[in-house]
Structure 1
Amino acid sequence: MVLMAIDRLKAIWTNGYIIDRDNKSQKWIRKNQNIIVEMKRLNNPNDITVEFMKNKISKGYGVTQDPETKNYMMVLDYKCKKCNFVCYAKHFQQSFNNWTNGNDDINKFIQNTQLSSHDNIRKAALEWIPYNKFYDIEYIARGGFDKVYKAKWIDGNINCWDDDNQNWKRICQDMYVALKSLNDSKDITLKFIDGIASHNKIDNNYIIKFYGITQDPHTKNYIMVLKYAESGSLRNYFDINHNKLDVDIRINYLFNIACGLESIHKNELIHRDLHIGNILKNNYDIYIADMGLCKLVNYNQSNNTKNNIYGVLPYIAPELKF
């Protein structure tokens, strides 16, 4: 049991709640074994009904008693105050003690994304993914601040919560993902977290999907786990297929890029390093990638003590080069 407040506890209920009666065996049929519940101390155990009404309990399972203190407690749904039901955020929260990467800043960042998922798990939630969950790791390319690999992810990504098994239901087992290893990131900084936070703010089909974070056990560098774009960058794709693309296809690519940029700007961010090498292609889909340099529109460059110019030289505004 975990103390939530002076009069509240969180606990695992091994039996689960009653849903029906089995007349043949003369036993109760139960559901959701090992479910997380909340236990609230009764202020007036002589009038349980009043307690339920006063606290506006939408679903109470029953009453129990602490054998040591002899206090009676209501057994309640462990529900989210915002959603008024056990949402994705609550399911993530119940597992916070089951994983850690040894870095409090990264832990807190991942947990915050999970706590903001509520009814949309695909929008915000990231995972801490153990490195041994990847295999067939293959080097792809090197960037200015990172190395990119492709690998197969044994578990696949989370799709939804499975009430029957009380666990996450996953899809696309052994899927290919891109592992973006950030150079010299073993001593994590707020700058790094700020960069990946920018990526995670944007929910759009034209921004490359961000699944979670892992860590190389040898270099200790942190790694972003991203959707793998089989065709690579649009630059590489054009080098090979330039003469095969008609006008309609090119316009569709531009439309996809524009939709991605619109989503970035609606979140009051600017990319700061957009070029054809950071636009990826996978089958018929186009994605904007490399969101690590994203900043708020009102970001004050004068506060950046290094006053750096970012980007790839051919794509930098001429007035900034001199």
Structure 2
Amino acid sequence: MGLFSYDETYGRCEECNQINTGPEWCNACNATRLQKNFKYWTSGNGEIDKFIQDAQLSANKFYRILEWIPYERFYDIEYIAKGGFGLVYKAKWTDGYIQSWNNDKQNWNRCHPLNKFVALKSLNKSKDVTLKFIDEVTSHHKIYNISTRSIVTFYGITQDPETENYMMVLDYAENGSLRNYLDKNYNNLTWNDKILCLYCIATGLHHIHRNELIHRDLHIGNILKFRSDICITDMGLCRPANCESTKDNTYGVLPYMAPEILRGQNYNKAADIYSFGIIMYE
């Protein structure tokens, strides 16, 4: 038997009879629906609006959708931690993410994240967002693939009404960073557990490099431990959101930085591999 076609895998759209591009997902029909809704929302920033709109129009599966999510759609917001360039909160999301179109109800079927929470990652000074910030957020969206679950899920963007900083809406890792998880559970891990952990990290790094991107700040604190997954986060966002990157800017956690980076050379894929080696050593 030959390879399955999209038609055999996902069936056809009930409305236009075109081949579905994903499970219960017709890119042509859903892009039209999403485009009609553009006039009903705005982030207040043209670059962010365009980024979200482009993501919606090109989404060939439900998990490629990004949304502008009004801040009031979150509740039980709780501060978690302070990162190098912003704050992280956890919150419950009233609506949940888009999964498919319901023809009977003429509305989106939505699903809540497994643990009911999402993470809101605030970026300092991002109210004065630059195109470079958009490029970095685009990198995260470009790499994410639900089939590997090696990069943390990215649902959309919101804005803190008090600080006016923009916030990424991401999956919430109930076990926190891999650093926190190992501190509590290291003695209970088997060799198989450790190898699986490293395999997940290597898979995520492979996807980053395959897309011709460099993480530049890979360390055990930028890896999240979910119930059954381990995901890389902070996809190139380890810099001020409104700061243009130059080869003179050096970012990272010192023990994970390759010697050539400390000598002022440019970041490259090999520097990420060095960081992964330090994680293996831990």
TM-score by length of 1: 0.68
RMSD: 2.5
Q: How does 1:136-285 map to 2 (within 5 A)?
A: 136-172=76-112, 175-204=116-145, 205-285=149-229
Residues 225-262 of structure 1 deviation map (CA, whole Å, 9 limit, x = unaligned): 00001000000100011100010010011111111111
Aligned to 1:310: 251
Aligned to 1:88: 30
User: Partners of 1:255 and 1:225 in 2: how far apart?
Assistant: 26
Q: What is the CA-CA distance between 1:133 and the residue it aligns to?
A: 0.5
Residue 216 (structure 2) pairs with residue 287 (structure 1): no
Which amino acid in structure 1 is aligned with residue 61 of structure 2? N
Which amino acid in structure 1 is aligned with residue 255 of structure 2? P
Task: Point out where structure 1 has 5 or more consecutive residues left out of the alignment.
Answer: 1-31, 36-57, 60-76, 78-82, 295-302
Which amino acid in structure 1 is aligned with residue 55 of structure 2? T
Residues 214 and 236 in structure 2, CA contact (< 8 A), matched pair in contact too: no
Which amino acid in structure 2 is aligned with residue 110 of structure 1? I
User: Partners of 1:224 and 1:192 in 2: how far apart?
Assistant: 11
Residues 148 and 180 in structure 1, CA contact (< 8 A), matched pair in contact too: yes
Which amino acid in structure 2 is aligned with residue 203 of structure 1? Y
The 1:235–1:192 alpha-carbon spacing in structure 2 relative to 1, beyond 3 Å, is: same
Aligned to 1:111: 53
Q: What is the CA-CA distance between 1:88 and the residue it aligns to?
A: 2.2
The 1:84–1:188 alpha-carbon spacing in structure 2 relative to 1, beyond 3 Å, is: closer
Aligned to 1:132: 72
Aligned to 2:39: 97
Q: What is the CA-CA distance between 1:121 and the residue it aligns to?
A: 2.0
User: Partners of 1:141 and 1:273 in 2: how far apart?
Assistant: 18
User: Partners of 1:152 and 1:221 in 2: how far apart?
Assistant: 19
Q: What is the CA-CA distance between 1:87 and the residue it aligns to?
A: 2.8
Q: What is the CA-CA distance between 1:155 and the residue it aligns to?
A: 0.7
Structure (1 or 2) with the greater helix fraction: 2
Which protein, 1 or 2, shows the higher relative CO under an 8 Å CA cutoff with sep ≥ 6? Answer: 2
Q: What is the CA-CA distance between 1:217 and the residue it aligns to?
A: 0.7
TM-score by length of 2: 0.78
Residues 142 and 148 in structure 1, CA contact (< 8 A), matched pair in contact too: yes
Matched residue pairs, number? 236
Residues 81 and 89 in structure 2, CA contact (< 8 A), matched pair in contact too: yes
Residues 192-225 of structure 1 deviation map (CA, whole Å, 9 limit, x = unaligned): 1111011010132110000000001111000000
Q: What is the CA-CA distance between 1:304 and the residue it aligns to?
A: 4.7
User: Partners of 1:224 and 1:216 in 2: how far apart?
Assistant: 11
- Structure (1 or 2) with the larger CA radius of gyration: 1
Q: What is the CA-CA distance between 1:307 and the residue it aligns to?
A: 1.7
Which amino acid in structure 2 is aligned with residue 318 of structure 1? P
Which amino acid in structure 1 is aligned with residue 48 of structure 2? I
Residues 215 and 235 in structure 2, CA contact (< 8 A), matched pair in contact too: yes
Q: What is the CA-CA distance between 1:287 and the residue it aligns to?
A: 0.5
Q: What is the CA-CA distance between 1:306 and the residue it aligns to?
A: 6.1
User: Partners of 1:158 and 1:136 in 2: how far apart?
Assistant: 21
Which amino acid in structure 1 is aligned with residue 54 of structure 2? N
Residues 201 and 232 in structure 2, CA contact (< 8 A), matched pair in contact too: yes
Identity of aligned residues (%): 60
User: Partners of 1:284 and 1:228 in 2: how far apart?
Assistant: 13
Task: Point out where structure 2 has 5 or more consecutive residues left out of the alignment.
Answer: 1-13, 19-24, 239-243, 264-282
